Amino acid sequence: MADFDLILRRENDTDIGVADGLFVAIEPEISGSCRFEIVLGDRKLFPGFIDAHVHFNEPGRAEWEGFETGSRALAAGGGTVFCDMPLNSSPPVVDAAAFEQKRKIGEEKSCIDFALWGGLIPGNQREIPAMAELGAIGLKAFMADSGLDEFPWVTPDDLREGMKAAAAVNLPVAVHAESQAYLASLPQPDETGVKGFLQSRPIAAEVEAIRIACELSGETGCALHIVHVSSAEGVNEVEKAKGIGVDVTIETCPHYLFFCDKDMIDLGAVAKCAPPLRSPHEVGALISKLVAGSIDTIGSDHSPALPEMKGGEFAEAWGGISGCQHAFPAFLSKFPDFVDLLTINPAARMGLAHRKGSIETGKDADFTIVDFSKTEAIAKESLLYRHPISAWIGREMQCRIEMTFCRGRQVYGSGRIPSTQQQNLCSPYLARQELT
Ligand SMILES: [Zn+2]
């Protein structure tokens, strides 16, 4: 019996020993025996990335993506954990039965670890304790039309009731922050197509929704997570709330940092998302907020659909960008000092930090090895999604993910290293840590 399953050797740094799927030793020049050894050389080691915002659409719409292809694509991007959103799977996860149904499928099909969001829709507050009991990491609500009748949006009153129920079981509520009332009050856009869509979803609608959600969070004591914030003004609104003690965090997505409204015009529906891509000036302002430390987490909001749903009229096309394979390495290559936003920050906010998010002894041996001396042009052929469609095609990444390991088992990379059977017996499902 070897002392370690794997030893990672770093120059001028500690070695890392892995056994039984855990980091078990972090010290200089580990001397025990091991089954495999990786000498990092110039390559960099990071904790496995955590994507707290994906839509893998299974069950019900697995033909859009599914756990198998989705998890493989994320692993290729350095990801070791995802948190799946309660929509656009069908049935949506708005009660315990749907939660269990999705968990079982994920356990069967995911190649990396995962957790689940429950859904918060008008009138389902009574389902929240049961979903919490099953390990939901939080509840997701839409403050604007989700595009699916089965997942209706919440009014401020609905949100208040849901937040009270979530606070009672110590779960955060995540919101898609665009105010439906504000959107509905806007005049018809004078343009059609992409430009009309951009006009119909202004930053003011996002700011208004964030203001309302923060107010309700303060009122109810419910932790709040604003997903896919697209504007610096939205971040300002959160900062105001943080300043008066509201427990609120912000996610943004790489597509709001790397793409602008012109890309939506040039690329068409493949780059359609809501909130929409913003002007170059707004993108710059959001990047300034990120660099100033005002953003807490990065999620991909990987939201694929059938190819035919991206064709035809722009107004009718499904919104959502496929990005979980490249969003994180792209982010890391531009913002290497902000790796916490991909690792420990989401782990802490989603109640997973007891096992995930950092390289520490006793934690799951989740890590990715990145080579910054290599660049990679994103080609359609390299996409591991069910449908090789992405706004990221043609972009160049200034680094390459070499290998990804989840609980000591290689889930991506060349020169595959065999896993131990014992690790495969573990369930990939992660429940939110019980708060004591
Ligand atoms: Zn989403």
Which tens digits make up the pLDDT trace of 224-255?
Answer: 999 999 999 999 999 999 999 999 999 999 99
Q: What's the CA-to-centroid distance between 321 and ligand 1, angstroms? A: 9
pLDDT at 422 over 80: no
Q: What's the CA-to-centroid distance between 369 and ligand 1, angstroms? A: 27
Q: What's the CA-to-centroid distance between 363 and ligand 1, angstroms? A: 28
pLDDT at 417 over 90: no
Residue 49: closest CA among 285, 325, 233: 325
Q: What's the CA-to-centroid distance between 320 and ligand 1, angstroms? A: 8
pLDDT exceeding 70 applies to what percent of the chain? Answer: 97
CA atoms within 13 A on the CB side of 9: 10
Are the C-beta atoms of residues 233 and 207 closer than 8 Å to each other? yes
Q: What's the CA-to-centroid distance between 167 and ligand 1, angstroms? A: 22
Q: What's the CA-to-centroid distance between 227 and ligand 1, angstroms? A: 8
CATH classification for the domain delimited by 46-349, as one of 3.30.260.10, 2.60.120.680, 3.20.20.140, 1.10.1740.10: 3.20.20.140
Are the C-beta atoms of residues 300 and 324 closer than 8 Å to each other? yes
How high is the pLDDT of residue 311?
86
Q: Other C-beta atoms within 10 Å of 303: how many?
A: 26
pLDDT at 435 over 60: no
With bands split at pLDDT 50, 70 and 90, how would you rate the model's confidence at 18? Answer: very high
Q: What's the CA-to-centroid distance between 102 and ligand 1, angstroms? A: 17
Q: What's the CA-to-centroid distance between 117 and ligand 1, angstroms? A: 11
- What integer best gives the mean pLDDT of the chain? 95
Q: What's the CA-to-centroid distance between 421 and ligand 1, angstroms? A: 35
- What span, in angstroms and rounded, lies between the C-alpha atoms of 309 and 418? 40
Q: What's the CA-to-centroid distance between 303 and ligand 1, angstroms? A: 6
Give the mean pLDDT of 397-421: 84
| Torsion sign (Cα): 282, 285, 291, 294 | negative
How high is the pLDDT of residue 421?
46
Rounded-to-10 torsion of CA 46, 118, 226, 124: -170
pLDDT exceeding 90 applies to what percent of the chain? Answer: 94
Give the mean pLDDT of 352-368: 97
- What span, in angstroms and rounded, lies between the C-alpha atoms of 357 and 263? 33
Give the mean pLDDT of 406-426: 73
**Strand 367-371 to 400-406 pairing:** antiparallel
Residue 150: closest CA among 60, 274, 84: 60
Out of 112-116, 233-237, 296-300, 312-316, pick the least confident: 312-316
Q: What's the CA-to-centroid distance between 84 and ligand 1, angstroms? A: 9
- What span, in angstroms and rounded, lies between the C-alpha atoms of 246 and 349? 14
How high is the pLDDT of residue 424?
52
Q: What's the CA-to-centroid distance between 139 and ligand 1, angstroms? A: 13
With bands split at pLDDT 50, 70 and 90, how would you rate the model's confidence at 418? Answer: low
